[in-house]
């Protein structure tokens, strides 16, 4: 029988393919695309996913080694600066690996620990993990729609 950690790791890895499978098909010009009336570009959403994954690794799962400047969250809006495709690819690869590494360190009991954040209150780690899985999938869906119907 698999541990909770093994199951959650499988879920995270598979769920994130909704995002990661899109990345290789993107061009640098795609990063500027938006879908009116939303101001968020594909580049902004990629950076935002990476920012949020790193924040989860640090603040939810307690990885004290993580250094993150969540620029998309700090700015609160798309500033138009997220146009370096290779840089963004490297950033979201790093964020995925960091979150995956700390998740793999969780024991079965750890998933029931409660954490409190200002963003979503008090949740178990399992509940909080559900938020990051759906957060990434939500923004991946936005990216797919912007890629298909958006303009530069």
- CATH number for the domain harbouring residue 14: 1.20.120.450
Domain that holds residue 61: 4-149
**Which pLDDT tens digit goes with each residue over 30-48?**
999 999 998 999 999 999 9
What is the three-state SS of 87-133? HHHHHHHHHHHHHHHHHHCCCCHHHHCEEEECCCEEEEHHHHHHHHH
* Residue 65 scores a pLDDT above 90: yes
Q: What per-residue confidence (pLDDT) applies to 44? A: 97
**Predicted confidence (pLDDT) at residue 117 exceeds the cutoff of 90:** no
pLDDT in tens, 2-29: 999 999 999 999 999 999 999 999 999 9
- 3-class state of residue 7 by DSSP: helix
SS3 (DSSP) at 17: helix
Q: Does 135 score more than 90 pLDDT?
A: yes
Q: What percent of the chain has pLDDT over 90?
A: 86
Domain count, the chain: 1
Tell me the whole-structure pTM to 2 decimals: 0.94
């Amino acid at each position: 029988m698999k541990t909770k950690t093994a199951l959650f790791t499988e879920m995270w890895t598979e769920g994130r393919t909704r995002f990661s499978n899109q990345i290789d098909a993107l061009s640098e010009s795609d990063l500027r695309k938006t879908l009116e009336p939303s101001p968020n570009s594909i580049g902004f959403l990629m950076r935002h996913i990476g920012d949020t994954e790193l924040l989860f690794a640090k603040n939810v799962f307690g990885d004290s080694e993580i250094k993150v400047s969540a620029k998309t969250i700090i700015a609160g809006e798309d500033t138009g600066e997220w146009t370096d495709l290779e840089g963004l690819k490297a950033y979201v690869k790093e964020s995925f690996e960091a979150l995956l590494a700390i998740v793999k360190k969780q024991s079965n009991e750890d998933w029931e620990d409660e954490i409190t954040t200002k963003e979503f209150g008090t949740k178990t780690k399992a509940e909080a993990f559900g938020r990051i899985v759906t957060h990434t999938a939500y923004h991946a869906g936005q990216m797919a729609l912007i890629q298909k119907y958006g303009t530069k």
